[in-house]
Amino acid sequence: MKLFFGHPGDQPDYHAYEALQIFGLGGNMPAFVPGEQSMWLRAVDDGCGGDIVTIDIPDFDDSKELERFIYLKMSGLTGYSSPWGCLTGVRPTKIVNQLFAAGMDPGEARNELTAFYCAAEEKASLAVDTAINQRPFLDEQRADPSRIGIYVGIPFCPTRCLYCSFTSNSIEKYKKSVDPYLELLKAEMEDTAALVRKQGLKIESVYIGGGTPTSLSEEQFARFISDVVNNFVAPSPYLCEFSVEAGRPDSITAGKLASMRSAGVNRISVNPQTMNDETLRLIGRRHTAEDTLRAYGLARSSGFDNINMDIICGLPGEDEEAFSHTLDEIERLGPESVTVHTLSVKRAADLKRDEKRSMLSSAVTGAMVSMAASRLQAIGLRPYYMYRQKNMVGNHENVAYCRSGFESPYNIHIMEEDQTILACGAGSVSKRVTPGVIRRAFNVKSVEEYLARSGEMAERKRELFILK
Ligand code: SF4
């Protein structure tokens, strides 16, 4: 059965659309106007016509009430309940923080999430626990808003993963562009460092992401890291986090680890995504579980004592047993943090148009998400930041779990949007946060465009600080 809303030709209402997206119908729907007091819901049995249901919509002052109303109607009509109920945003903890700010205690906030937002008990507890664990970081930022984060992006990877929608290009194909890119990136970092000095900002964290930064050669990587250090690390007495998303295990070498250690990198990610070779082959990672074990061992023996590992629930072809095997291996290795993603089938990802999409199951994904939560917490890791994305299999979430004291402030602040982030590199986004206002500056996405127009990027960041 397909369901269609409304009046062809009406303008979409953002909140109504968001609520309908929970039911995965976004692509099929004409829009409707809540102000007209009613909407028409037509149920069509694949091509043979069907019933038309008219629903009166009361006037709502609050968009959350409208979303809840639509969620409950749709849930009644389709029989589907989302684990996050009518919660539509990408940051559930922001809502919990608003409830805390309104004077609720954790128990009351949990009740509000289940009673008003119709979230499952498990999700309500996860959001509240996460908000509690990140509270000291948000308090610190409130006390000193001049603290900022720096992001630097390397948009190259060894191969492109099937589910990827980031700015990522084959390092093989772009071999000739890498050195020119690093040169221009160095210039953008110098301009950004000058802006940091001029504005009297305090760099709290430096995060190197991508892409896969370690897809660079050892020589390129050493040069790049030294440029980062000269611009952002050495001049920053307030720095507490220097993270590198090493990411793909097949790109990690002893030489690159040595460069990172001598530069003062204090957190790296070694991301298996899964410890099952058949899945790795299916999703185009072109590395093996053995490569992950080797890279992890090498990182430990190089002296890294804060390692994150990313895994994904709901990968094509995986069942609970396969996922449980990944968790067994992670538990055996004992990283300081594990980020559990739910597969998100984004528009840009090849997976969306691939036949492997039919191998995804939301029921199995839900069981994996719950399994990860209980097993990781049982070994002493606790949730400390989370976010949701559109098109996540089963409407779940991404959550990072860590041992106490191994939180990444950069990740907390970027998700809670309470800190200014200045970003360098193709596809990166800078964000200036002031009370009640977030202003963004977007860098161009493609490497070709970046090489042609890199001078504009620093200018866009400078404009963020000119209040209009
Ligand atoms: S390693 Fe990350 S950025 Fe690179 S292709 Fe895979 S998902 Fe995309």
Query: According to the model, what pLDDT value does residue 50 have?
Result: 47
- Domain check: are 254 and 317 in the same one? yes
Instruction: Check whether residue 171 and residue 293 sit in a common domain.
Output: yes
What is the number of the ligand 1 atom nearest to the C-alpha of 168?
3
Å from CA of 156 to ligand 1 middle: 8
Q: Give yes or no: residues 455 and 387 share one domain.
A: yes
Q: pLDDT tens digits for 211-224?
A: 999 999 999 999 99
Question: In this structure, which amino acid lies at residue 178?
Answer: V
Beta strands at 156-157 and 169-170: parallel, antiparallel or unpaired: parallel
Identify whether 438 is part of a domain: yes
Which ligand 1 atom is nearest residue 159's CA? 5
The reply to whether 6 and 134 lie within a common domain is no
CA of 248 to the centre of ligand 1 (A): 8
Domain's final residue, options 33, 52, 78: 78
Q: Do residue 264 and residue 134 come from a single domain?
A: no
**Short-list 158, 283, 162, 280, CA closest to 212:** 158
Q: Specify if 83 maps to a domain.
A: no
Residues 149 and 131 occupy one common structural domain: no
Does residue 85 form part of some domain? no
Which protein residue has the closest C-alpha to ligand 1 atom 8?
Answer: 164
* pTM of this structure: 0.90
pLDDT at 53: 57
Residue 38: the pLDDT is 42
Contact yes or no for 150/206 (Cβ under 8 A) = yes
Query: What CA–CA distances, in Å, run from 277 to 59, 281, 324, 424, 438?
Result: 54, 6, 14, 34, 42
From start to end of 259-410, where are the E strands? Answer: 267-270, 307-313, 337-342, 382-387, 398-402
Report the nearest-CA residue for atom 3 of ligand 1.
211
58 and 171: one domain? Answer: no
pLDDT value, residue 46: 39
Structure tokens at 397: 């979430």
Task: For residue 201, give the 3-state DSSP assignment.
Answer: coil
Instruction: Please tell me the residue having the least CA distance from ligand 1 atom 5.
Output: 160
25 and 124 share one domain: no
Same-domain status, 72 and 200: no
Is 87 inside a domain boundary? no
The answer to whether residue 467 sits within a structural domain is no
Q: Which atom of ligand 1 is nearest to the CA of 211?
A: 3
Q: How far is 162 from 160, CA to CA, in rounded Å?
A: 6
Question: Based on the domain organization, do 160 and 188 belong to the same domain?
Answer: yes
Q: Which two tokens stand for residue 118?
A: 């119709």
CA of 269 to the centre of ligand 1 (A): 13
Rounded to the nearest angstrom, the distance between the alpha carbon of 295 and the centre of ligand 1 is: 17
Examine residue 104 and state whether it is found in any structural domain, yes or no.
yes
For residue 212 and ligand 1, the question of a CB distance below 6 A is answered with yes
The answer as to whether 341 is a domain residue is: yes
Q: Look up tokens 């200036």; give the residue.
A: 432
Last residue of a domain, one of 78, 101, 126: 78
Tell me how far apart the alpha carbons of residues 457 and 441 are, in angstroms, rounded to a whole number.
8
Answer yes or no: is 84 within a domain. no
DSSP 88: -
* CATH code at position 154: 3.80.30.20
Below-70 pLDDT ranges, the chain: 1-13, 24-57, 346-361, 467-468
User: pLDDT value at position 286?
Assistant: 86
**Ligand 1 centre and the CA of 378: distance in Å?**
30
Same domain, 103 and 239: no
268 & 393 share domain = yes
Per-residue model confidence (pLDDT) at position 79: 79
Query: CB of 287 closer than 6 A to ligand 1?
Result: no
For residue 105, give its domain range: 92-138
Structurally, the chain folds into a number of domains equal to 3
